[in-house]
Chain A
Amino acid sequence: MRILIVEDDTETGRFIAKGFTELGHQVVLSADGRDGLYQATDGGFCALIVDRMLPGLDGLSLVRALRAAGDMTPVLMLTAIGGLSDRVEGIEGGADDYLVKPFAFSELAARVQALGRRQTVAVEPATLVVSDITLDLHRRTVARAGRRVTLQPREFALLAELMRNPARIMTRTMLLERVWDFDFDPKTNIVETHLSRLRTKLNAGFDDDAIETVRGAGYMIRGG
């Protein structure tokens, strides 16, 4: 994956670039908004990571300019803590995802991976199938290897989100945002509790675990 990072803080920029390079991606680093836009329009990137505050041209204007020019390359925007309206503005401005600094690199990596994938899904199918699990979004039914599994609405939404991103790590924060629409981190383990219940129901009668826990990163459903 070719990734463009537009970040004026050299320390953060280097930290992100190093991480993605280690994961085997090609990384271009830009420290200025105008230069970043120029590089982005030059094309050939699978994803952009753009800081909100940039010299020359701020991140939001950069994304707006890009979208106005018809460039739909997925964009993840970074912002400093405390921006209550930043998220809404960022998404409305055309960013695909939003991450608040400081973040763990694993969180950023998982989100960028998901961005690359999201773009290819145009219309969501009515049925999601990952290995031996089938989930019908319309009838809201789930079956594993043909055996019916009854889930609570939250558990169903959680499984659907994992199955939309097969073989990709979904972090705790991503699940909180997408399943619960929370933009804050509750002190209690609601994600863990729901996952453990989902797991128990899915795995009943099976030897292998349907959902994999990636230590220090998140959760993943294998296959696809």
Chain B
Amino acid sequence: MPVGFKRWWRTTFGLVAIVALGFALATLAIGVVAFETTHEALEQQLDHRIATETQALIDEGDDGPAGVADAIRRRETARGAGSLDYRLVAPDGATVAGQLDAEVPTQAGFVELLPYVHTGERRIAQSLTTILPGGHRLLVAADRGVIDDMDATLLRLFAGAFGAMLVLGIGAAWIVGLVTRHRLAQIDRTALAIIDGDLSQRMPVSGTGDEFDRVSATLNRMLDRIGTLMDNLRQVSSDVAHDLRTPLTRLHNRLEEALATQERERQHTAITAAADQSRELLDIFAALLRIAEVEGQAAQSHFQRLDLSALVENIVETYRPDMEASDHLLTATIEPGLTIDGDRRLLQQLVANLFDNVLTHTLAGTNVSVDLARSPRGARLCLSDDGPDASADESDHLFRRFSRGEASRSRPGHGLGLALVRAIADAHRGRATIDRTSGFAVMIDLEVANQAVETNV
């Protein structure tokens, strides 16, 4: 198949044209069948009429050829339009009766196309030759004009239908192609504008809710998502650059200091401080990579069923001494037997990060409560404290990388803990939210598994 044709029939016009051609061909096929059937039926009807008439003649002239000849004459006298024609010949070929001007076949039987002359005009007849006892031959014929008329009518009818189908089909193909191309061209133009850098462009939606609108709406949702991701990326890149500048500057200063001094003691102190700074930088990178990895959803390949209640209980017990040492009042209410499909280490880190946050950002004497309970959505872990709200930022903003409450700027940390918490919750198809109705609370909603874990964890 030539490439040009292959490409052509894949266009909307091509597809609709092919369908139209199919319909036209089907019409043609129906026409041929109808024509043949009608034609055959008419011929059979004519044959039947001739055979009945022949039998009637023979019956009427039961006393032999003379009787048949009489019958013929009677009929010819009473002749009207559409009557049959007759000819009776003696065994020697001499005409006995009948005005049919045609050669009488020597063989008995039907002859479909018998030429004859009627009032000087050459015509074609359907005929039956019968050999009477004694050798006389009786020829009964009917003019085929009626069949030919019907054939011509049918031919005209179906040729007209075929032509109309073709014209309609090609017209429809042209219109559908035009409309499709017009709508696609709009989408195409928008896409080109986006490629050229204008990410604010959106696909046109006509509001009719048709297929094009649905595709446009989906593409627009995709563009919104890409836009958000681009914004995130831009924000993260600038935050990374901004947040790394401080430790890098400190590192640089420390090393300059070490180079400038001759005293071994001071050199040692400066290099130790520089090493600490570089370690901090590496920690930031490790945390960023961890978040990126969890967001990349590689985590789900390690999911297994685990006892969330036991996991949270373990972390609570792990942090209890630290909480007590820093004079935090910790109360834990943990509903037992909540199971979940997840990554144990990531979930441990999620809960530990929340505790780390409380320990870093609240003062001694703060009441801290941990609640794990079944919720309508699955399980809800809530870690709340009644300490003063350290940040005036938007709640959701705190889950972004490098975002830190204004008041906590002076405290250690890089604002990556909650970003990781959200990433881990998202990786588990859960949700992390902040509630500030009383104090500060981070809530993690997770889907629970229906069956309990088999082995005790």
Residues of A at the B interface (CB closer than 8 Å) are 81-85, 88, 100, 102, 152-154, 180-190, 193-194, 197
Contact = CB atoms under 8 A, between A and B. Distances in A.
Contacts of A188: 319, 322, 355-356, 359-360
B293 interface: yes
B301, B322, B344: most-surrounded residue (chain A CB, <10 A):
B322
Interface of B: 282-283, 285-286, 289-290, 292-294, 298-299, 301-302, 314, 317-319, 321-322, 325, 344-345, 348-349, 352-353, 355-356, 359-360, 412-413, 417
Contact of A184 (B293, B321, B349): B349
Contacts of A186: 352-353, 355-356
B302 A88 contact: yes
Contact of A187 (B282, B325, B412): B412
Contacts of A189: 322
Given A88-B302, A188-B319, A82 B352 contact: no
Contacts of A152: 317
A84 B317 contact: no
A181 B322 contact: no
Q: Is the interface of B mostly helix, strand, loop or mixed?
A: helix
**Top 3 nearest A-B pairs by Cβ distance?**
A82-B289, A187-B356, A193-B321
Contacts of B353: 186
Contacts of A187: 356, 359-360, 412-413, 417
A100 B289 CA distance: 13
B352 A184 contact: yes
A52 to B, nearest CB: 15
7 contacts: A82-B290, A82-B292, A100-B286, A182-B348, A182-B352, A184-B348, A186-B352
Given A82-B293, A85-B298, A188-B322, 18 more contacts: A81-B282, A84-B290, A84-B293, A85-B302, A100-B286, A152-B317, A180-B314, A180-B318, A181-B348, A182-B348, A182-B352, A185-B283, A186-B352, A187-B360, A187-B412, A188-B360, A190-B319, A193-B321
A197 B321 contact: yes
Contacts of B293: 82-84
A210 B311 CA distance: 31
B282 A102 contact: yes
Contacts of B290: 82, 84, 184
B352 A81 contact: no
Contacts of B294: 84
Contact of A81 (B286, B314, B344, B356): B286
